Chains A and B, each alone.
Chain A
């Protein structure tokens, strides 16, 4: 009897010394895997929300175009197109698409998807111009990026 009692008393608390290590491991995992932002935004981005969203599976095939008024007012008040880290003109889109395509492998080039991130103050004129250029560049798959709309009913 006394033997049993002694044993149970000694194993009463769980060793928690390894707990910080486990938590740190999780922490490092999240720190390493999260990408904060690849490109610095130079245009205003207040993207309108939508409900019927589709998720794109292949992230590798997606390239982004940002459209909106420039944050830096020295660039003027008119909507501009930002690709990667620089503003491009409407005429430069075909060139840019071809550059992006050349980064992909031969078979995937036609599957390139252009994700348009457009500020909600933008007028449709520039969007239509971009679409015409994308058709010209044979990048026909486009996506209007939009965050999920919160249900308000």
Chain B
């Protein structure tokens, strides 16, 4: 009798071992953040050469001006604006204005504004025909430029929120062009040839022309 009792208590009870390990596992799962490289990308203009002409005069109507002063107040197209989220729609309308689309082939893919217009889906064409096409706004997506000028004293916070809005507008245009939502467009995987083709088709002829202008030091 005594012997059998001894025999029963010989091995350590390992039943709760799994629970302990689980606890540790869940702790690590919850606490670790796998660092993701997410953010708003931007391509800076090339270095300015001394002997080059500093500025090529742009037509006023092809420039969508956003200015931020040191009090974080906005001036969009020379009019004050309080609500940052309105910029998205304004930029969308501005880029797709097609006020005077040209046949001049631009960019490395040699696409003209009229080619771009022909490639748009019917829903966008009818929207443009009904609401846009003003001669006061941009000639076409090939020549539309967004100019963002932030004062040295303005906050990074508002700069990012505006840059976010600008990207949202462009992603919406690109997405709608190939029949996706802006979110689906953003998540296209460019390593997959089929999705890459879609990405290229969406961006073809509509450059993301966001220019961060040099701030003036006065008025801070």
Q: Is the CB of B32 within 8 A of A144?
A: no
Chain B interface, number of residues (Cβ within 8 angstroms): 51
- B124 near A: Cβ within 8 Å? no
Cβ of B68: which chain A residues have Cβ within 8 Å of it? 124
Q: Is the beta-carbon distance between B186 and A52 smaller than 8 angstroms?
A: yes
When the two chains form their complex, are residues A142 and B37 in contact, meaning their CB atoms are under 8 A apart?
no
Q: How far is the CB of A137 from chain B (nearest CB, A)?
A: 9
B215 CB within 8 Å of chain A: yes
Interface contact A55-B152, CB-CB below 8 Å: no
Contacts of A123 in B (CB 8 A): 152-156
Decide if B32 touches A34 in the complex (CB within 8 Å).
Answer: yes
Find residues 81-127 in chain A having any chain B CB closer than 8 Å to their own CB. Answer: 113, 115, 118-125, 127
Give every chain A residue within 8 A of B29 (Cβ-Cβ): 30
Among the interface residues B40, B152, B156, B190, which one has the most CB atoms of the partner chain A within 10 A?
B156
Tell me whether B17 is interfacial, beta carbon within 8 Å.
yes
Residues in B with CB closer than 8 Å to A24 are 21
What is the minimal beta-carbon distance from B73 to any residue of chain A, in angstroms? 14
Q: In the complex, are the beta carbons of B186 and A53 less than 8 A apart?
A: yes
Task: Determine, out of B90-98, B107-115, B161-169, the stretch whose residues face the partner at the interface.
Answer: B161-169
Chain A interface, >50% SS class: mixed
B44 with A146: CB separation less than 8 A: no
CA distance in complex: A23, B18 (Å): 7
Partner pick for B153 among A50, A119, A125, CB 8 A cutoff: A125
Judge whether B25 and A143 touch: CB under 8 Å: no
Q: Is the CB of A145 within 8 A of B39?
A: yes
Q: Does A141 contact B (CB under 8 A)?
A: yes
> Nearest residue in B to A127 (C-beta to C-beta)?
B156
A59 close to B (CB within 8 Å): yes
B-chain residues with CB within 8 Å of residue A136 when the two chains form the complex: 47
Assess A143 versus B28: contact at CB under 8 Å? Given A54-B186, A127-B159.
no
| Complex: A145 Cα to B163 Cα, angstroms | 12
Contact present for B24 and A27 (CB under 8 Å): yes
For A16, the chain B residues whose CB sits under 8 A away are 15, 18
- A36 on the B face (CB < 8 A): yes
Determine if B171 and A140 form an interchain contact, defined as CB atoms under 8 angstroms apart: no
Is B58 close to A, CB under 8 A? no
User: A23 near B156 (CB under 8 angstroms)?
Assistant: no
Contacts of B87 in A (CB 8 A): none
A124-B21 contact given A50-B40, A140-B43, A144-B160, CB 8 Å threshold: no
Apart from A124-B215, A135-B46, what are 7 other A-B pairs with CB-CB below 8 Å?
Answer: A36-B32, A50-B39, A50-B40, A120-B160, A125-B153, A142-B41, A143-B37
Sorted nearest first, the 9 A-B pairs with minimum C-beta distance are: A125-B152, A23-B21, A52-B167, A56-B37, A145-B39, A20-B17, A34-B32, A50-B164, A143-B39
15 contacts between A and B (CB under 8 A): A34-B32, A50-B163, A50-B164, A54-B38, A54-B40, A115-B37, A120-B157, A121-B157, A122-B156, A128-B150, A128-B152, A136-B47, A140-B46, A142-B41, A146-B164
